[in-house]
Structure 1
Amino acid sequence: MNSTQRLPDKLTPLPAARDAWLSRLVPVAPGELRPADALRCIAADMPAMPGHPRHDVASVDGWALRAHDLIGASAYSPVPLPARPAWVEAGDRMPDACDCVLDADAVDATGPIVQALAEAAPGQGLRRAGSDIAAGDRLVDAGQRILACHLLLARAAGRPTITARRPRLRIVNLPGGAATAAFAADQARDAGAEVSVIEPSARDAAAIAAALDASSCDLIATVGGTGVGRGDATIAAIGQCGEIIAHGIALQPGRTSAVGLIAGKPVVALPGAPDQAFAAWWTLVVPALDRLSGRQPRPTFRLPLARKIASTVGITEIALLQRRDDAWLPLATGELPLRMIARADAWLAISAGSEGFAVGAAADAYMLRE
């Protein structure tokens, strides 16, 4: 049996552990992804787009005409047309020299002379070339998240691929941590990562080490086995395969989390308990995924606190917040019941050097729902 893991006598401050770890990370190489695969990924530099539509197109069904030929036309004073107009359907390319579309009943084509029964302004019933996408526009700026609206533009412009960064996350889930591993996988996919999940055959260091294969991923996240219980051996396994940068982090919840490197690839050890993994996920894994994907810094949202928050000096505590009446209502601090995680709109990291926030103090929180 493996000897019991121990936490260090002194916990590593969260900023020190995070910064030492993140400083080793660089963005992954961009790739060409199909639009369906690029959703939620982080955009890389892309070439400028051509204008769309490439030419004027009809936006309604009707007769393609020149507005100049219709001046003065009405049902009481029809205007003869020099030639029979072309019929166009929505999406059709406009005939040369035509700059408007009239409804079917605005043209009398029953007799030998075709007559217009209404006027039209230039541009009526059509979309101008470049009106949806101007020539030279970017589909999305590098570092931004690719959303469904960006995919709409890509498909409309006929782009078969989108240039994006998509980190590959390998989750090593120890037996018993299914709920936490599923949470991590869901969150990672929502951040645009490609996720694979593997479960070691046992909770001992040898079985865990065998699952820590960094050759086919950009980041490894283990779930469970980070504490000092008799079945906890994750930290020993990481140490056998690579380097432990910090184990025992001054973070509440989540103090048994760890970060390290295996074959130059980052590895983070998440506690098996969902609430502890939640705190470690947002403070350690999300910044790593953002660094690997080249994401622009996530914005915070500032609101005053509806109630004070008390915090213990010497440890970074996570607070859950709910937006209510243009203020942050604290739901939980340090101890995070799952029902509060489900209700929270944002989270806040209270610095280890702070005793908390007074009521009415402005707090910059990270949104849990983008």
Structure 2
Amino acid sequence: MEDIRMRGFVKRHSLEEVIEVLKKRIKIIGKVKLPFDKSLGDVFAEDVISDRNVPSFNRSTRDGYAVVAADTFYADEVNPIRLIFNGEKIIPGVPPKTEIREGYCSEIATGSIVPRGANAIVMIEDTDIEGKEVVVFKPVVPGEYIMHAGSDIMTGEVIARQDGIISARETATLSTQGIRTLKVYKKPVIAVISTGDEIVAPGRKLREGEIYDTNSRAISDLLIEHGCIPKFMRIAKDDYQEIKSALDDSLKYDMVLISGGTSKGTGDICINVIEDMKDSEIIVHGVAMKPGKPVILARIGKKPVIGLPGFPTSAVIAFHQFALPIIRSMTAQPAESKDQIRAKASVRIHSPKGLQEFCLVNLVKRGNSEIFSAYPITKSSGSITTFSYADGILEIPENQEMIEKDSYIKIIPMSNTIKPSDLNIIGSQCVGL
């Protein structure tokens, strides 16, 4: 009888092959209307069209006097122009009552409606009051200090594009339209399962050989960071029925992420369980990458199922390479952009032939230079601190076996909030440091 655990490892697929296969199987999960104030971070499911001008009236952008611009021509400190103050003081939110005629003016506050007849605003700093007259010391041109109706947003203008992410920038614009609801793509609800006889929930006393479940917490938080709703199912032992039961319960959600039990060892039975389930398809088992080689990409019915390696760093790397592209496709988001930092390799770096390697590095500033030194982290993928201590990732192509010391390389930062260290101490562990 064939052991399916070994089948996928005969030929491991490249990252590019896997991503192309995934793209053909992804469908957008649906749309929903949300209250405007609950939509931050979601993705527009349709274009938003303005139904009104912004501003809806000619608006003053300065405190001063509404005037006919031609009345102020040639005014200066020596030969000021005198205008008759008609007695009206225009304030925001109150329509003006008096039309401006040549030789007259009204006082106006910033944000107020510019009265009929006026085509410019003289700043209050450039005027003085003498009785019922306003003395103008500086000329203005037509349109000066007036924001005309529709000059910011015009009726019928597209103010938000489908597939864009809703941020504070978009909500500020949308607020001008008095919008109460938005049509967005549904947030994926994703089931998270941990597996392993040695895995226990935090809070329980550990027995010899047991470890706390770190993967479900890390994966759930990654899902939240990327706009998903995680549903932690449970910790399943390395038992066929337990894993099958957890998968059965998870299929009501949009996607399933299961960590551990994905390789070809005695207790690695996830691939067998998935293969035996109704209307299932193993798309990929084993990818030419390090860490994260024993990843499973499958489908049960219409639901994507991803088996992540049990080692924490491998699980996180595999999440970014496979789960995240699927999630972004499900919600019609573009591929994640990857900012890069220019660095120099601090040592010669060797990489296994035939595997695309994701080498975690620490970055150290090189004096006053804008270029960093990159130091590879030598801990194994089984160490959670390998990931938590890293500043960035060096992607090494599968056909490259070595990077020479002092070679220029590009590092993908782990996040925008990480601050590289000014000093890196390499050596044996010392509590004094």
Q: TM-score, normalised by structure 2?
A: 0.69
Number of equivalences: 365
Q: For residues 253 and 158 of structure 1, do their structure 2 counterparts lie closer, same or farther at Cα, with a shift above 3 Å needed?
A: same
Q: Which has the higher mean CA deviation after the structures are superposed, 72-81 or 312-321?
A: 72-81
Give the unaligned 5+ runs of structure 2: 93-109, 201-211, 417-433
Contact 2:343–2:410, Cα closer than 8 Å, also in 1: no
Matched, 1:353 2:394: no
Partner of 2:245: 210
Q: For residues 350 and 169 of structure 1, do their structure 2 counterparts lie closer, same or farther at Cα, with a shift above 3 Å needed?
A: farther
Rounded to whole Å, the distance in 2 between the matches of 1:330 and 1:138 is 47
Partner of 1:235: 271
Q: For residues 160 and 320 of structure 1, do their structure 2 counterparts lie closer, same or farther at Cα, with a shift above 3 Å needed?
A: farther
Rounded to whole Å, the distance in 2 between the matches of 1:350 and 1:144 is 31
Which residue, 175, 181, 188 being the options, matches 1:168? 188
Q: Which has the higher mean CA deviation after the structures are superposed, 293-302 or 319-328?
A: 319-328
Q: TM-score, normalised by structure 1?
A: 0.79
Q: For residues 285 and 323 of structure 1, do their structure 2 counterparts lie closer, same or farther at Cα, with a shift above 3 Å needed?
A: farther
Matched, 1:188 2:223: yes
1:278 Cα offset (Å): 1.3
Q: For residues 104 and 304 of structure 1, do their structure 2 counterparts lie closer, same or farther at Cα, with a shift above 3 Å needed?
A: closer
Matched, 1:264 2:302: yes
Rounded to whole Å, the distance in 1 between the matches of 2:373 and 2:148 is 46
3-state SS of the aligned residue for 2:318?
Answer: helix
Contact 1:319–1:349, Cα closer than 8 Å, also in 2: yes
Q: For residues 258 and 333 of structure 1, do their structure 2 counterparts lie closer, same or farther at Cα, with a shift above 3 Å needed?
A: farther
Contact 1:317–1:334, Cα closer than 8 Å, also in 2: no
Rounded to whole Å, the distance in 1 between the matches of 2:120 and 2:240 is 74
Q: Letter of the aligned partner of 1:171 in structure 2? A: A
Matched, 1:276 2:297: no
Matched, 1:329 2:330: no
Which residue, 279, 282, 287 being the options, matches 1:249? 287
Contact 2:342–2:411, Cα closer than 8 Å, also in 1: no
1:29 Cα offset (Å): 3.2
1:281 Cα offset (Å): 0.9
Rounded to whole Å, the distance in 2 between the matches of 1:333 and 1:138 is 51
Contact 1:304–1:361, Cα closer than 8 Å, also in 2: no
Rounded to whole Å, the distance in 2 between the matches of 1:344 and 1:36 is 36
Rounded to whole Å, the distance in 2 between the matches of 1:314 and 1:202 is 33
Q: Letter of the aligned partner of 1:273 in structure 2? A: F
Contact 1:318–1:349, Cα closer than 8 Å, also in 2: yes
Q: Deviations over 1:114-137 (max 9, x none)?
A: 424444444444433344445665
Alignment of 1:1-370 (within 5 A): 6-8=5-7, 9-10=9-10, 12-15=12-15, 16-49=17-50, 51-71=53-73, 77=80, 79-81=82-84, 83-89=86-92, 90-102=110-122, 111=131, 113-119=132-138, 120-133=140-153, 137-174=157-194, 176=200, 178-192=213-227, 194-200=228-234, 202-203=236-237, 204-212=239-247, 213=249, 216-227=252-263, 233-241=269-277, 242-301=280-339, 305-307=343-345, 308-321=348-361, 322=363, 325-326=370-371, 329-332=374-377, 335=380, 338-339=384-385, 341-342=387-388, 344=390, 346-358=392-404, 366-369=412-415
Q: For residues 239 and 149 of structure 1, do their structure 2 counterparts lie closer, same or farther at Cα, with a shift above 3 Å needed?
A: same
1:155 Cα offset (Å): 1.9
1:214 Cα offset (Å): 5.8
Q: Letter of the aligned partner of 1:195 in structure 2? A: I
Rounded to whole Å, the distance in 2 between the matches of 1:55 and 1:280 is 54
Of all paired residues, the percent bearing the same amino acid is 21
CA RMSD of aligned residues (A): 3.7
Rounded to whole Å, the distance in 1 between the matches of 2:225 and 2:43 is 11
Q: For residues 141 and 88 of structure 1, do their structure 2 counterparts lie closer, same or farther at Cα, with a shift above 3 Å needed?
A: same
Q: Deviations over 1:32-91 (max 9, x none)?
A: 444444433344440443542233323344444443344455677451236334423443
Q: Letter of the aligned partner of 1:351 in structure 2? A: P
Q: Deviations over 1:320-361 (max 9, x none)?
A: 354853467253479456555345454343333321444566
Contact 2:187–2:331, Cα closer than 8 Å, also in 1: yes
Contact 1:21–1:266, Cα closer than 8 Å, also in 2: no
Rounded to whole Å, the distance in 2 between the matches of 1:140 and 1:346 is 33
Q: Which has the higher contact order (CA 8 A, sep 6+)?
A: 1
